[in-house]
Copies of this chain bind each other. A is one copy, B any other.
Amino acid sequence: MNDSIETLKEGRKGRQRKAQRTGCAVEVTLSVIGGVWKPVILFHLLQGKLRFNELCKRTSSATPRMMTLQLRELESDGIISRTVYAEVPPRVEYELTETGRSLEPILLTMRDWGSRYQSQ
């Protein structure tokens, strides 16, 4: 009927695909923030820019490897920006872009729903 899930799955790593001849825009959103890590990362970035290690700690102690992979994808989707400071020791800060901040309603709604669900 459509190939949007294929697009979606490839989107989780094989980026750059457009297709989406589906009518279900939900799948588009999932292709960008889908997965278990990204929404959490983005949620923490709502508070402001954060450094790499800080993000690792806040995201349930994600391993550097996973964090790097997720951040790269988010960056290539234009959701976050990456700023490298030429210092010693190195410092890299991640920040939401304009597009990234537009996800705020989704993330906040998810947080609120989670709170309510948790307390039954």
Per assembly, the copies of the chain total 2
Contact A25 B60 (CB under 8 A): no
Contacts of A105 in B (CB 8 A): 109, 113
Contact B99 A60 (CB under 8 A): no
A103 within 8 A of B: yes
Query: Please, how many angstroms separate the alpha-carbon atoms of A44 and B32 in the complex?
Result: 20
Query: Please, how many angstroms separate the alpha-carbon atoms of A7 and B13 in the complex?
Result: 24
Contact A114 B28 (CB under 8 A): yes
Complex interface bits, A29-57 against B, C-beta within 8 A gives 1, otherwise 0: 11010111101100110000000000001
Lowest 9 A-B CB distances belong to which pairs?
A: A5-B60, A25-B114, A28-B114, A29-B114, A29-B110, A25-B115, A25-B111, A26-B43, A26-B111
